C-alpha cells in the first residue's frame, strides 16, 4: 500500500447500529456486507489511518426535507412492535411501497432508516464544519427512496437528505455522481428542477433493468435543464468500456458545472458476479471509478468528497473489497489490487458463508486499460458480437448523452476536449 504524500483530513462514519438495517433474513441486502467491509479495512490497517465518527440518528425533521409526513407516519405505523401487519397496516404499507418483496417490513424499521440517514448527515456535517474534506459512510446510498414511498430496498433517501442539508448550510452548487448499476432515480427526482444540484448517473440500460428510468433525454426541468445527466450502458459492459464512458462525460460536465462538493453513490452491484444485475466490471474497475471521483473532487472542489455505499449483493467476494478500496482512497492510501486478502479475514468470511470461496487478492486482475473517447463513433459492424461492435455501442451511448446535455452546459458534444 502507498500512502498519499500529503494526508487529507478524512473520516469514516461507522456504528454497529448500521447493522440493524436488515430487511429480512433472506433479503439480498444483508448488512453482513457492511460488517465484513469494516473488518477487511481494519485487518489491512486502513481504519487506523482514519478518524471513526459514530453518528446519531437523524431527526424526523431532517427526514422531512425529502419525505412526506404521511410516509414517515406509515413507516412508523407498520413497523411498530405491536403492528402485527394486520390488514389495515398491510394496506397502508403497500400504498407506501412497504411490505412487498423488495421492501419487507421489519421491526424498528423507522429507527434503522434514521441511523443510516444520520450517518450520511454526519458525513455532510464533517465536511461543512471543516473537520474533514473526505468522508465515507458505507451504510448510506439509499438512492431509490421517494418522498412518499419506499423503493428498491431503500426506506429513507439519505443521499437527498444530506444534499438538502448542505444546500441550507453554505453550498450552492453540489454534484452528485451515482455509479450504482441501478439508476439513481430518487436523487434525480428530488432535485430535477433545482439548478443548484447536478445529478449524474451511470447505470445499466433502463430497458434491461429496474427501475426503468435514466434515459439520456431526462435532462432536468426549467432552470435546471442540463443538470440531470444519464449514461445508460448495455448488459455485459466491462471495465474498459465503462471507464471510457465515464471519462468521456463526467469530467467535462463536472468542470463545466463547477461544484463546491461532490457526493458519490458508490454501489458495487456493477460487478460481474453481482446476482441482481448484468454489467461486467471487476473490483479493479470499481476502484478506478472511485479514484476518478475523488480526483475530480480534489481538482474542482478543494477535495470536498462525500462518499456513500449503495447496492452490491456479492456479500463475501465483492462488496467488502470494493468498499475497502473506497475507504482507502478517501484516506489517501493506494491499495494494490494484487495485495493478498488477510487469512484472518478469509477465515471469518468462511464462518459466515462456508459455501462461498473468499477472494485471495484485493483485485480481480481486471482489464482496466481503456482508450479514451476520440469524438467519433465506430462504424457499425455485422456478424457475431465482437469487440468492435461493443465499442460502437458504447460510443453511440456516449454521443447520445453528450448530444442531449452538453450543449445545455455550453460544451461541444462532438469535441473530446470538452
Whether residue 205 contacts residue 235, with contact meaning beta carbons closer than 8 Å, is answered with yes
How many degrees, rounded to 5, is the angle at CA 313 between CA 312 and CA 315?
105
Q: Are 106 and 112 spatial neighbours (Cβ–Cβ below 8 Å)?
A: yes
DSSP class of residue 270 equals T
69-78 and 87-95 helices, crossing angle to 10°: 140
Going by the DSSP 8-state scheme, the letter that residue 375 receives in this structure is S
DSSP codes joined into one string, 17-62 = GGGG----TT-S--THHHHHHHHHHHHTT-GGGSEEEPPPPPPHHH
Q: What are phi and psi of 204, to 5 degrees?
A: -65, 145
SS3 175: strand
DSSP, res 190: H
At 261, list the grid cell. 462538493
For residue 391 the three cell numbers come to 465499442
Residue 229: exposure state from Cβ atoms within 10 A (0-12, 13-18, ≥19): buried
The residues assigned a catalytic role are 144
Residue 18's CB is within 10 A of a number of other CB atoms, namely 23
CB atoms within 10 A of CB 45: 12
SS3 12: strand
How far the first Cα of the chain sits from its last, in Å, is 34
- What is the spatial distance between Cα 98 and Cα 106, in angstroms, rounded to a whole number? 10
Amino acid at each position: 500500500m502507498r500512502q498519499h504524500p500529503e494526508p487529507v483530513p478524512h473520516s469514516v462514519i461507522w456504528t454497529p447500529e448500521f447493522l440493524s438495517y436488515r430487511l429480512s433474513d433472506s433479503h439480498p441486502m444483508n448488512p453482513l456486507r457492511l460488517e465484513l467491509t469494516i473488518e477487511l479495512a481494519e485487518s489491512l490497517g486502513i481504519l487506523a489511518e482514519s478518524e471513526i465518527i459514530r453518528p446519531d440518528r437523524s431527526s424526523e425533521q431532517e427526514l422531512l426535507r425529502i419525505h412526506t409526513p404521511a410516509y414517515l407516519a406509515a413507516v412508523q405505523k407498520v413497523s411498530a412492535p405491536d403492528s402485527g401487519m394486520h390488514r389495515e397496516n398491510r394496506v397502508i404499507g403497500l400504498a407506501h411501497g412497504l411490505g412487498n418483496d423488495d421492501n419487507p417490513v421489519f421491526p424498528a424499521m423507522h429507527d434503522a432508516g434514521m441511523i443510516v440517514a444520520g450517518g450520511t448527515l454526519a458525513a455532510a456535517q464533517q465536511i461543512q464544519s471543516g473537520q474533514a474534506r473526505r468522508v465515507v459512510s458505507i451504510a448510506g446510498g439509499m438512492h431509490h427512496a421517494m418522498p412518499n414511498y419506499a423503493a428498491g430496498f431503500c426506506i429513507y433517501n439519505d443521499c437527498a437528505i444530506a444534499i438538502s442539508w448542505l444546500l441550507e448550510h453554505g453550498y450552492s452548487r453540489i454534484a452528485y455522481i451515482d455509479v450504482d448499476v441501478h439508476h439513481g432515480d430518487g436523487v434525480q427526482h428530488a432535485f430535477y428542477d433545482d439548478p443548484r444540484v447536478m445529478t449524474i448517473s451511470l447505470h445499466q440500460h433502463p430497458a434491461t433493468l429496474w427501475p426503468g428510468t435514466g434515459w439520456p433525454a431526462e435532462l432536468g426541468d426549467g432552470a435546471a435543464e442540463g443538470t440531470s445527466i444519464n449514461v445508460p450502458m448495455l448488459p455485459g459492459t466491462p471495465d474498459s468500456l465503462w471507464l471510457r464512458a465515464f471519462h468521456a462525460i463526467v469530467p467535462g460536465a463536472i468542470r463545466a458545472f463547477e461544484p463546491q462538493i461532490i457526493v458519490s453513490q458508490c454501489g458495487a452491484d456493477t460487478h460481474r458476479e453481482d446476482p441482481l444485475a448484468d454489467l461486467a466490471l471487476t473490483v479493479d474497475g470499481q476502484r478506478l471509478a472511485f479514484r476518478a471521483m475523488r480526483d475530480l473532487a480534489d481538482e474542482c472542489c478543494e477535495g470536498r468528497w462525500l462518499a456513500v455505499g449503495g447496492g452490491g449483493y456479492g456479500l463475501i467476494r465483492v462488496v467488502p473489497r470494493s468498499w475497502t478500496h473506497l475507504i482507502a482512497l478517501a484516506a489517501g492510501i493506494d491499495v494494490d489490487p494484487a495485495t493478498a486478502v488477510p487469512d484472518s479475514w478469509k477465515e471469518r468470511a468462511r464462518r459466515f458463508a462456508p459455501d462461498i470461496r473468499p477472494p485471495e487478492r484485493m483485485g480481480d486482475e481486471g482489464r482496466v486499460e481503456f482508450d479514451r473517447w476520440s469524438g467519433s463513433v465506430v462504424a457499425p459492424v455485422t456478424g457475431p458480437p465482437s469487440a468492435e461492435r461493443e465499442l460502437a455501442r458504447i460510443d453511440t451511448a456516449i454521443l447520445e448523452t453528450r448530444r442531449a446535455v452538453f450543449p445545455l452546459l455550453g460544451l461541444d458534444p462532438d469535441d473530446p476536449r470538452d
